[in-house]
Amino acid sequence: MSRLKIRPSGTSGLVTHVTPESAGWTYVGFDLRRLKPGETVSARTQGREACLVFVTGRGAVVAGGQALGELGSRMSPFEGKPWSVYVPQDSDWSVTASTELELAVCTAPGLNGGLPVRVIAPDDLGQEVRGKGSNTRHVTNILPESEPADSLLVVEVVTPAGNSSSYPPHKHDRDDLPRESYLEETYYHRFNPPQGFGFQRVYTDDRSLDEAMAIEDGDVVLVPKGYHPCATCHGYDLYYLNVMAGPKRTWKFHNAAEHEWLLQG
């Protein structure tokens, strides 16, 4: 199996755990927790900020000493927008599940920004359609660079069955602003129906990194550098949650030159 693909370890509790140390990079962390009703997960952010994304289910949230109430509304990541919570560095947080709950914990370095805890409600989120034809996908911006955070960029995408996504191939692996920003990235994949599968390729221009992998429900793909397009097979919609972070909190990407013609017309 590709070293860039992480399969879930079980069906409950902490099923995916990505740290900068385990990924061999500097910025992005990603945990996926599956809780049963009544179960609680709690943590302290230490020197990192966090974005808690309710992928599915509902739960009561306490963060930074504030009781934020019961959040979450959708039972499938393919149904509407998510609820999320921003938690700054050096803050405690806890979530107690009131239904079966799938909670993504997205983290990156805090920068002493002094930002407050805040709930990010579905009505606060912008949505857009990118691409056309069999490259159409639907994007929900959870924590874009236009909203306050120290390092994190968080977005989710739904790609209709049979379509490509993160395509034409693009990369963001050079700290060369304003042309390109360096951002590490994780993809958390879900399929509808869940027995579906798709494909993702991560590669560089010189092919020193060139890995193609089948992706299934619950897989996480690491993108340390290079281009990273994916596609889903006929009959199966693809959801993915992206977490990005780097030395500068901005998304400036470079398209693969040989495929830029696809953007014309």
DSSP at 148: -
State what percent of residues in the chain have pLDDT above 90. 97
11-263 domain in CATH 3.90.1150.10?
A: no
Residue 2: per-residue pLDDT: 87
Q: Is 253 exposed, middle or buried (0-12, 13-18, 19+ CB in 10 A)?
A: middle
Average of per-residue pLDDT across 166-177: 97
Our CA angle for 149, 181, 245, nearest 5°, is: 35
- pLDDT class of 264 with cuts at 50, 70, 90: confident
Does the structure show a pLDDT above 70 at 265?
no
Q: What percent of the chain has pLDDT over 70?
A: 100
- From CA 255, how far away is CA 81, in angstroms rounded? 28
* Res 112: pLDDT: 82
Q: Is the pTM of this model over 0.95?
A: yes
